[in-house]
Amino acid sequence: MLDPGRAVVMPRTIVGKGLRFSLRHAPCAHICRYCLISESRKGTALPWEGFERLVMRFHDWKEATGRDNFQIGIFVGPSFDYDINILQGVMRLYARRGLSFQTVNLGGLRIRDGEVLAAWIDERQAAGVTGFHTSLAGHGEVHDRWNGRAGDFAYQMSILRLAGERGMARREKLFLTQNTLPLFDRLLDTLDALPGELAGRNASPFFYAGLATRYEEERLTEDMRDTLPARITRLRSGKFDNWLSEREWIPVMLETADQPRKLQLKLDVDETNIGYLERTPCDDIVAERERQYQESYNAIPALAELCARYGDPENRRIYMMSRDVEGRWLDLHRQDTGTPPPID
Ligand code: SF4
């Protein structure tokens, strides 16, 4: 291993390919052990209208300046437990991008029962929601433990059942770990017995981020990956179907290590910065955010050097993305040098 204290050479160049505006509007009622989002219970006092106005202004700017390839995204969360007026606002912002927002994520919803739950679903269906998305980590109590809420698996099943009976669809994200793998047949049988259209189903390991970084021992290994039943293998999602171990990722990552990293820049919007964002030209906001990202990367060695210092060619645990493996190296770099990882 090289001297971790030596000077940083040639940090990665960052190119902003878009902005993703984030509003912490709806607190989360889960405490998932694999949560990627820290402080999921912290909300903002910023009224919705200010957020929507800001994002719409960026769409106006994008159109007026012909930035066809610049992406404008939103994240309103961390849960989708929106009031109807917020739901309609989110739908308007999707429509401005030419997309339709029709699927509500069940992660982090407060518990509702009986008629209250039925009315909640009916209200969303009337507003244009056509389905729900569930994330499940195992079956029954194993899922409940991963999600930090007793009874959550049964609750999610009850929502999906009620929705299916109303003609609504469901999308499923199924986490694959060493302790959920033995439960997969039972999980798939339970899901297959639900009424309603299955609009999408995929299985995947956790991303390496947030709290999930604590569960490296739960990752599948190359051997497990190579012997998965066909019923699971066919659930690898098109976008993240490259399940490689660290030792397999390393040569792939080194092929493009000197290329600039293109990122959608995240921008948290809240009551403390809305005034600045409202009075500052869009170009300046983008340039400033790009500069902040670049500065945070300037403190980090280039990818090839990170790999030389921290890459583990013996690691046969499976990751979905090269970013996951890089995240591991950045954590090791922080442990060695105290340098925080770059903005992500
Ligand atoms: S539902 Fe999502 S935001 Fe909430 S704790 Fe779980 S992973 Fe985190």
Chain centroid to CA 62: how far?
25
Within a 13 Å sphere around the CA of 318, how many CA atoms are in the beta-carbon half? 24
Pocket test for ligand 1, best of 24, 25, 37 (most atoms within 8 A of CB): 37
How do residues 113-138 score in pLDDT, each as one tens digit?
999 999 999 999 999 999 999 999 99
Nearest-atom number in ligand 1 for the CA of 34 is 7
Count of residues making up the chain: 344
Identify the pLDDT of residue 1.
43
Instruction: Give me the pLDDT at residue 25, please.
Output: 87
pTM (2 d.p.)? 0.92
**Is pLDDT larger for residue 219 or for residue 9?**
219
Among 333, 344, 323, 332, residue whose Cα is nearest residue 249: 323
Element (H, E) at 105: strand 103-105
| 248, pLDDT greater than 70 | yes
Q: Give the pLDDT confidence of 187-243 residue by residue, as tens digits.
A: 999 999 999 999 999 999 999 999 999 999 999 999 999 999 999 999 998 777 899
The pLDDT score that the predictor gives to residue 37 is: 79
Question: Partners of 264 in the beta sheet?
Answer: 18
Q: What is the pLDDT of residue 5?
A: 47
Averaged confidence pLDDT in the chain: 94
Q: What pLDDT does residue 93 have?
A: 98
Give residue 3's pLDDT: 47
pLDDT for 18: 97
Query: What pLDDT is recorded for position 39?
Result: 59
Q: What would the pLDDT profile of 72-101 be if each residue is shown by its tens digit?
A: 999 999 999 999 999 999 999 999 999 999
Cβ of 78 closer than 6 Å to ligand 1, yes or no, is yes
The pLDDT value given to residue 161: 98
Residue-range domains of the chain with CATH = 14-337 (3.80.30.10)
Q: How far apart are CA 205 and CA 181, in angstroms?
A: 10
Percentage of the residues of the chain whose pLDDT score is greater than 70: 96
Give the C-alpha separation, 53 to 130, whole Å. Answer: 26
Q: Is the CB of 133 under 6 A from ligand 1?
A: no
What is the rounded distance in angstroms from the CA atom of residue 270 to the CA atom of residue 74?
13
Q: Is the CB of 205 under 6 A from ligand 1?
A: no
The pLDDT, as a whole number, for residue 40 is 57
Taking CA atoms, 115 is separated from 119, 123, 159, 167, 171, in Å, by 6, 12, 12, 18, 24
Does the structure show a pLDDT above 70 at 38? Answer: no
DSSP secondary structure letters along 252-285? HHHHTTTSPEEEEEEEE--TTTHHHHHHS-HHHH
